[in-house]
Structure 1
Amino acid sequence: MRTQNRRRHLVGIIAIIVSAVVFLIPFAFILITSFKTQQQASLLDFSLPIDFVFFENVAAVFATNDFMLVTAFINSSILTVASVAIMVILSAMVGWILARRQSRWNGVFSFLILAGLIVPPAVVPTIWVLQSIGLFKTLPGLVLIEVAYGMAFCVLLFRSFVSTIPKELDEAAIIDGAGPIRLFFKVAFPLLKSVIVTAIVVQAVAVFNDFANPLYFLPGAENATVQLTLFNFQSQYATSWNLLFTDILLITIPPLLMYIFFNRQIVEGMTAGAIKG
């Protein structure tokens, strides 16, 4: 018994060390470099800064390209809120129906959902579709793209959790005269609180940190999102490493805070279906 406990402690210690190496050391390097001048940052070494110019770097990052970072934060915030709101509501509805109504089409729907997780997106045909409906280079068009790419994961999450909710609650609500819409929003939706928080945090971080989709489907400086502002400090012949890492630090803070404050809810939502089901 003691041997097993020692092995568990040893495995836990190794996991902590590996996590520190993979996550904390790169973050520490970003933080230290953001305090340096351009000359010292260009060395790309893990040394303490000689001159602390963090606030000067932050001011320079915000002022670059007529305060492009401010516009990017606004665009990313709108994109994240709209995409996640639509994604969560639609995925909850689909997951509820798939878990509650058994039909011969459920296998087909499950295959399509899994295909949404496995099949890579086709960029050129998607651009052609967006151009055909007049949504290319527009924020609503990118919202639809994010919803389409993120729904498969959310549907699987909601369907797994809904299967743990007793069907007697549905029957009691129907006996009390609740229709389908009222049944879902008054009875079912409040019961999905933990998995809703999980879906919101995971997808909000994914959408906020998305680089490829805004690059392909939302070109233009006025449409820039936070990840695309990294191009401001890189060129073919030179890179302002101090400003680049300061920009990375600034756009990392919102997702990092979400994970810190909602870590427990994320774990509960991800494991609820597996534990109860």
Structure 2
Amino acid sequence: MSTRSRKWPLEIIGLVLSAIVIVPLLLIVFTSFKGPAEAADFKFSLPTEWYIYENYTEVLKVAKVSTAFWNSLIITGSSVFLVLVVCCTSAFVIQRRKNFFTNTVQFLLLAGMVLPLSIITTYMMLFKLGLTQSTYVGLILVYVATSYPIITFLYIGFFNSLSREIDEAAVIDGAKGYGLFFRVIFPLLKPMNATAIILTFISVWNDFATAIYFLNSAKKYTLGITVFFFQGEHSSDWNLVFADLVIVSIPVIIVYIVLQKQIISGLTAGAVKS
């Protein structure tokens, strides 16, 4: 039996699984260009009459997308930056220094990947610190804390694939401390950095449940929250709701397209046992 004939069942399964994801996405895109009556039918078909600009213009006017976009950009960008810096530096120390402390931290990372976020206790702690009143800081810290276990664990796996001889050679050349990491090691982390960026970006950008608890001001609402309220106000206008969803999804798609070449290698390296 040829290699090609042995792979066709897997190819069929792959096509079916892809269709499960792609068909709903195409339905959203097609519906966002339809009129109200045609959109209400929820048929998987091209629009009979294309509303190229009308739906999206209406959404931009009514849904307060511009303000929410900048809120999401600030919160997501800050969270991604902090996750990137904190996770890669701590993972380097954990992987390179094998002792009781680092082993304990690595065990806690595994626990953090399993245990859910406790909203009440986290909110009370941030309230005592004054980080719940019209500020981004509290929510950003929550996102960093919830992303830290999985991203750090992936970085640890990636560092397993980097020989310690690189560190030793850099030290011989005079690199020490932060200089060793950011001048020698960090440039080698491009695949893992891309993976960390896209995973954190998607998680934070699309989040609704956490943001609704920790953002007490409508002026600070993110795109995910505005989609919820917009759908409530326009529950019968599915063409506008889907147009809003497309607008919210565009930044994630752009980030993925830019970083896709690095993501697979980063996840593969991160899967190496630690």
Instruction: Output the TM-score relative to the length of structure 2.
Output: 0.93
Counterpart for residue 39 of structure 1 = 37
Deviations 1:66-124 (A, max 9, x none): xx110111111111111111101110111101110010223321121111111010111
Q: Report matched runs for 1:71-220 at 5 Å.
A: 71-136=67-132, 137-220=134-217
Q: Deviations over 1:136-180 (max 9, x none)?
A: 141111111111111111101111111111112212222333221
CA distance in 2, matches of 1:236, 1:35: 19
Q: How big is the shift at 1:195?
A: 0.7
| Cα 1:173/1:109, change in 2 over 3 Å | same
Q: Tell me which moved more, 184-193 or 70-79.
A: 184-193
Task: Look up the equivalent residue of 1:12 and give its one-letter code.
Answer: E
Contact 2:40 2:237 (C-alpha < 8 Å) held by counterparts: yes
Q: Within 2, Cα distance between the matches of 1:77 and 1:143?
A: 12
1:222-255 Cα shifts (integer Å, max 9, x gaps): 1111111113433389432111100001111111
Runs (5+) with no aligned partner, structure 1: none
Counterpart CA distance in 2 for 1:183 and 1:132 is 38
RMSD of equivalent CA atoms: 2.0
Q: Secondary structure at the match of 2:42?
A: coil
Give the residue type in structure 2 aligned to 1:91. Answer: C
**SS state of the match for residue 52, structure 1?**
coil
CA distance in structure 2 between the partners assigned to 1:235 and 1:165 by the alignment: 51
Give the counterpart letter for 1:226 in structure 2: L
Match of 2:219 in 1: 222
38-47 vs 85-94, which moves further: 38-47
Residue aligning to 1:25: 23
Using a 3 Å threshold, how does the CA distance of structure 1 residues 35 and 187 change in structure 2: closer, same or farther? same
Distance across 2 between alignment mates of 1:176 and 1:14: 52
CA separation of 1:199 and 1:48: change in aligned 2, threshold 3 A: same
Identity in percent = 37
Residue 44 of structure 1 and its aligned partner are, at CA, apart by 2.4
Distance, in Å, in 2 between the alignment partners of 1:79 and 1:150 is: 14
CA distance change for structure 1 residues 57 and 273 in 2, over 3 Å: closer, same or farther? closer
Q: Is the 8 A contact 1:233 1:240 kept in 2?
A: no
Does the CA-based 8 Å contact 1:84-1:200 persist in structure 2? Answer: yes
* 2:11 paired with 1:15: no
1:243 matched to 2:240? The reply is: yes
How far, CA to CA, are the matches of 1:56 and 1:173 in structure 2? 59
Q: Is the 8 A contact 1:233 1:241 kept in 2?
A: no
- 3-state SS of 2:18 partner: helix
Which residue identity does 1:92 align to in structure 2?
A: C
Q: Distance in 2 between matches of 1:249 and 1:219?
A: 26
User: What's the TM-score once normalised by structure 1's chain length?
Assistant: 0.92
- Is structure 2 residue 243 aligned with structure 1 residue 234? no
CA spacing shift, 1:198–1:238, aligned 2, 3 Å: closer
C-alpha distance in 2, partners of 1:222/1:264?
36
Bigger mean CA offset, 238-247 vs 5-14: 5-14
Q: For 2:252 and 2:204, locate their aligned partners in 1 and report how far apart those are by CA, in whole Å.
A: 10
Question: Could you tell me which amino acid in structure 1 is paired with residue 52 of structure 2?
Answer: F
Q: Which one is further off, 242-251 or 132-141? A: 132-141
